[in-house]
């Protein structure tokens, strides 16, 4: 009987596990040639005893909705799956996880249909200064670091007993409540926090019928070093549609695979060669307007 009682108590605690969720307002300038265009995204930093996760709230909601929609279609599969573009899919696609107690840090980023898990091999080296100020409701102290190709100014608060922070930043004697690079291109500011029920474990991507894949979702997760990611990124920049062409070539029945896009003037094209040319053009235009990465060293 005691064993049953202990098991019940353990399951109850596990089921009601909570995480400390910190809300950050992330302001960033995607295009260094257009500094007036400042984007903003709500980011979550979820902290529990095992580590932390930093990710976009909007993207998390959009991905969960899309996944549920696809799973519903798979259950009643009739030969076609429609993936509707969300009105607000989120502007920040990366995610960062840290594992306690060693703070093993991973950045999750995608290139085309491939998902990359990039191991961080350096930790922030901080210089703690005597400057102090109030950030929101917290007493904060200044620190600086050089990281990822940028110079950063951080404000940390010992009022919050977590040596963590947004993105890959950690290692100060309290939570980082604000951090910005010296150009003002990337600013992350704590705006609130609360305890929430622990999110469900990471969901598996839907298993597509007949070897189908959804462009922009799922794909294989590849664990790489930063140097390996840089090589993959350079290859993508040089040939943005390579993954899609290879996907089509691998499919033995091309009648099951079709690509359609609309040009800037609204004309729909479906010829594969034209589609790939249009997608390559769009991708290169997008990359040109997103030249101000949070971590320039990773995409140089």
Q: DSSP letters along the chain, please? A: -HHHHHHHHHHHHHHT-EEEEEEEEEEE-S-TT-TT--EEEEEEEEEETTEEEEEEHHHHHHHHHHHHHHHHHHHT--S----PPPS---S---EEEEETTTTEEEEEEEETTEEEEEE-------EEEEEEEEETTEEEEEEEEEETTEEEEEEEETTS--S--STT---SSSEEEEEEETTSSEEEEEEEEEEEEPPPPPPPPP--GGG---TTS---EEEE-HHHHHHHHHHHHH-TTHHHHHHHHH-S-GGG----EE-TTS-EE--HHHHHHHHHHHHHHHHHH----S-GGG--
**Most confidently modeled range among 178-192, 230-244, 269-283:** 178-192
The per-residue pLDDT for 88 is 54
Question: Which pLDDT belongs to residue 12?
Answer: 35
pLDDT at position 113, please?
78
Domains held by the chain: number: 1
Which pLDDT score is estimated for 15? 43
Q: What is the pLDDT of residues 89-116, one digit of tens each?
A: 678 999 999 999 999 999 999 998 789 9
Please tell me the predicted confidence (pLDDT) of residue 89. Answer: 66
Expressed as residue numbers, the domain containing 50 is: 2-298
pLDDT per residue as tens digits for the range 261-273: 555 666 666 666 7
Residue 140 reports pLDDT greater than 80? yes
């Amino acid at each position: 009987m005691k064993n049953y009682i202990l098991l019940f108590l353990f399951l109850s605690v596990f089921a009601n596990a909570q995480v400390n969720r910190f809300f950050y307002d992330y302001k960033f300038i995607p295009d260094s040639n257009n500094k007036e265009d400042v984007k903003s995204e709500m980011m979550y930093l979820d902290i529990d005893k095992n580590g932390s996760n930093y990710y976009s709230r909007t993207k998390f909601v959009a991905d969960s909705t899309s996944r549920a929609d696809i799973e519903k279609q798979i259950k009643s599969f009739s030969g076609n799956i429609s993936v509707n573009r969300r009105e607000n899919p989120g502007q920040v696609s990366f995610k960062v996880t840290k594992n306690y107690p060693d703070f093993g840090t991973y950045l999750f980023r995608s290139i085309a249909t491939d998902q990359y898990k990039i191991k961080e091999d350096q930790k922030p080296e901080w210089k703690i200064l005597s400057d102090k100020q109030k950030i929101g409701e917290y007493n904060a102290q200044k620190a600086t670091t050089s990281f990822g190709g940028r110079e950063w100014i951080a404000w940390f608060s010992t009022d919050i007993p977590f040596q963590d922070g947004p993105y890959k930043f950690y290692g100060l004697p309290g939570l980082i409540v604000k951090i910005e690079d010296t150009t003002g291109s990337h600013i992350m500011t704590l705006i609130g926090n609360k305890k929430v029920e622990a999110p469900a474990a990471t969901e598996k991507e839907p298993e597509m019928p007949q070897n189908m894949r959804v462009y922009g979702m799922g794909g294989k997760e590849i664990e790489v070093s930063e140097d390996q990611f840089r090589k993959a990124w350079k290859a993508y920049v040089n040939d943005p549609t390579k993954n899609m062409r290879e996907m089509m070539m691998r499919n033995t029945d091309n009648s099951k695979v079709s690509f359609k896009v609309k040009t800037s003037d609204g004309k729909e094209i479906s010829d594969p060669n034209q589609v790939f040319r249009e997608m390559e053009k769009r991708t290169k235009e997008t990359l040109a307007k997103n030249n101000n990465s949070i971590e320039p060293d990773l995409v140089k």
